[in-house]
Structure 1
Amino acid sequence: MCSADSKPDLLVTLFTQGALAACREEAMRRLSTGNATGPHPLDPLLPVAEQLNRRDDLIGLVIACQEEHPEDCRLLELSATLHMQTGAFDEAGRAIDAALARRPAHLPALAIQARLLTQAGRLDEALRVLERIQELNPDNPSNLSNIAYLRIALGDVDEALNLYRQSILRQPNHPQMRLNYSIALLKAGYFQQGWAEHEWRFRLPGHTTLPMNRLLPNITPRLDLQGRQVLVTQEEGFGDTLMYLRYLPLLAARGAIIRVWGAENMATLCARVEGVHHVQVGGETPSYDYHCPFISLPRAFSATAHPFGVPVPYVRADPDGISRFAALMPEDGRLRVGLVWSGAPRPDQSDAWMLDQRRSMKLEALAPLLDLDRTTFYSLQIGEAARQRLAYAGRIVDLTDRIGTMDDTAALVANLDIVVSVDTAMVHLAGAMGKPVILMDRVNPCWRWMSDRTDSPWYPTLRIIRQSRAWQWEDVVAQVRTRLEQFRRNAS
Structure 2
Amino acid sequence: MNSASDPSTPSPVEHRLNEADQSLRAGDAHKALALLSPLPGSPAVHLNRGRAFFRLGQYQDAAAELEKATLPFGGHAVAAIIDEAVALRRRADLLHLFSESRKIAPYDPRLLDAQGSILMHLGRFDEAEVCLRESLKRRPNDKGTLNLLAMNLTEQGRFDEALSILDGLRQRAPEEWGPGCNMAAILNNIGRLEDAANIYRETIPLAPNEAALRLNHSIAMLKSGRMAQGWAEHEWRFGMPGHTNLPQNRLLPNITPFLNLEGKRVLVTQEEGLGDTLMYLRYIPALARTGAIVHIWGTSILAGLCRRVEGTTIVQHGGETPDYDYHCPFISLPRAFSATPDAMGSPVPYLKADPVKVLQWKKILHSDRKLRVGLVWAGGARPENTGAQMVDRQRSMPLSALAPLADLEGISFYSLQKDEPALQRLDFPGQLIDFMPQCLDMDDTAALVSCLDLVVSVDTSMVHLAGGLGKPVIMMDRFNNCWRWLHGRDDSPWYPKMKIVRQTRFRDWSDVVTRVRSLLEDAVSAQ
What's the TM-score once normalised by structure 1's chain length? Answer: 0.94
1:274, distance to aligned residue in structure 2 (A): 0.8
SS of 1:43 mapped into structure 2: helix
Say if 1:344 and 1:332 are closer, same or farther in 2 by CA, change over 3 A.
closer
Query: 1:23 aligned to 49, 62, 71, which one?
Result: 62
**For residue 99 of structure 1, what is the aligned residue in structure 2?**
135
Structure 2 unmatched runs, 5+: 1-17, 22-41
**For residue 25 of structure 2, what is the aligned residue in structure 1?**
none
Code of the residue aligned with 2:220 in structure 1: it is: A
* Native 8 Å contact 1:66 1:72 kept in 2: yes
SS of 2:426 mapped into structure 1: helix
Whole-angstrom CA distance in 2 between matches of 1:210 and 1:364? 44
Deviates more, 1:196-205 or 1:309-318: 196-205
Say if 1:387 and 1:154 are closer, same or farther in 2 by CA, change over 3 A.
closer
**For residue 130 of structure 1, what is the aligned residue in structure 2?**
166
Indicate the RMSD between aligned Cα atoms, in angstroms.
Answer: 2.0
Query: 1:13 aligned to 52, 55, 65, which one?
Result: 52
**Per-residue CA distance 1:183-241 (angstroms, 9 max, x = gap):** 11101110000111111112223322222222221111222222222221111111111
**Per-residue CA distance 1:107-149 (angstroms, 9 max, x = gap):** 1110110110112222221111111211222221122111111
What's the TM-score once normalised by structure 2's chain length? Answer: 0.88
1:343, distance to aligned residue in structure 2 (A): 0.8
Code of the residue aligned with 1:20 in structure 2: it is: Y
Code of the residue aligned with 2:50 in structure 1: it is: L
Correspondence 1:42 to 2:41:
no
Query: 1:421 aligned to 446, 451, 457, which one?
Result: 457
**For residue 57 of structure 1, what is the aligned residue in structure 2?**
93
Whole-angstrom CA distance in 1 between matches of 2:287 and 2:109? 57
Kindly report which structure 2 residues correspond to 1:81-96, keeping only aligned pairs within 5 A, or say none: 81-96=117-132
Code of the residue aligned with 1:11 in structure 2: it is: G
* Native 8 Å contact 1:105 1:136 kept in 2: no
**For residue 490 of structure 2, what is the aligned residue in structure 1?**
454
Whole-angstrom CA distance in 2 between matches of 1:244 and 1:28? 49
1:393, distance to aligned residue in structure 2 (A): 8.0
Deviates more, 1:414-423 or 1:247-256: 247-256
Whole-angstrom CA distance in 1 between matches of 2:326 and 2:77? 49
* Native 8 Å contact 1:258 1:276 kept in 2: yes
**Per-residue CA distance 1:31-63 (angstroms, 9 max, x = gap):** 8xx63x643343323223322222322212323
1:300, distance to aligned residue in structure 2 (A): 0.9
* Native 8 Å contact 1:164 1:181 kept in 2: yes
* Native 8 Å contact 1:12 1:44 kept in 2: no
Whole-angstrom CA distance in 2 between matches of 1:393 and 1:330? 25
Correspondence 1:119 to 2:155:
yes
| Identical columns (%) | 50
Whole-angstrom CA distance in 2 between matches of 1:464 and 1:288? 39
Whole-angstrom CA distance in 1 between matches of 2:68 and 2:267? 56
* Native 8 Å contact 1:45 1:58 kept in 2: no
**For residue 36 of structure 2, what is the aligned residue in structure 1?**
none
**For residue 362 of structure 1, what is the aligned residue in structure 2?**
398
Whole-angstrom CA distance in 1 between matches of 2:486 and 2:66? 47
**Per-residue CA distance 1:404-455 (angstroms, 9 max, x = gap):** 1111110010011111111110010011011001111112111101121111
**For residue 341 of structure 1, what is the aligned residue in structure 2?**
377
Say if 1:68 and 1:206 are closer, same or farther in 2 by CA, change over 3 A.
closer
SS of 2:184 mapped into structure 1: helix
Say if 1:268 and 1:167 are closer, same or farther in 2 by CA, change over 3 A.
same
Whole-angstrom CA distance in 2 between matches of 1:357 and 1:399? 25
**For residue 384 of structure 1, what is the aligned residue in structure 2?**
420
Correspondence 1:269 to 2:308:
no
Whole-angstrom CA distance in 2 between matches of 1:263 and 1:118? 34
Largest Rg, 1 or 2: 2
Whole-angstrom CA distance in 1 between matches of 2:151 and 2:126? 14
Structure 1 unmatched runs, 5+: none
Say if 1:170 and 1:28 are closer, same or farther in 2 by CA, change over 3 A.
closer
